[in-house]
Amino acid sequence: MTPTPSQRRLGPLPYLIFSSRWLQLPLYLGLIVAQAIYVVQFLRELWHLIDATLLAHGEVAGQSAETTIMLTVLGLIDVVMISNLLVMVIVGGYETFVSRLKLEGHPDQPEWLSHVNATVLKVKLAMAIIGISSIHLLATFIKANTMNGEVIMWQILLHLTFVVSAIALAWMDRIMLSPGRHAHDEA
In a domain, 165, yes or no: yes
Region of 52 please: left (phi>0), alpha (psi -120 to 50) or beta.
alpha
Specify the number of domains making up the chain.
1
Q: What pLDDT shows up at residue 32? A: 96
Q: How far apart (Å, rounded) are the C-alpha atoms in residues 181 and 187?
A: 10
The distance from CA 113 to its chain's CA centroid, rounded to whole angstroms, is: 14
In a domain, 63, yes or no: yes
Q: How far apart (Å, rounded) are the C-alpha atoms in residues 131 and 128?
A: 5
In a domain, 186, yes or no: no
In a domain, 157, yes or no: yes
Q: Rounded to two decimals, what is the model's pTM?
A: 0.70
Reference 144, options 88, 32, 63; nearest CA is: 63
Q: How far apart (Å, rounded) are the C-alpha atoms in residues 117 and 46?
A: 35
Full residue range of the structural domain in which residue 41 is found: 17-101+112-177
Cβ count within 10 A of residue 18:
10
* Angle made by CA atoms 51, 56, 60, in degrees to the nearest 5: 90
pLDDT in tens, the chain (187 residues): 565 665 578 888 988 998 899 999 999 999 999 999 999 999 998 998 888 777 765 555 566 777 778 888 888 998 898 898 898 889 888 888 898 888 777 888 777 776 677 777 787 788 888 888 888 888 888 877 767 788 888 889 999 999 998 888 888 878 877 776 544 444 4
Is 161 exposed, middle or buried (CB count within 10 Å of its CB: 0-12, 13-18, 19+)?
exposed
In a domain, 187, yes or no: no
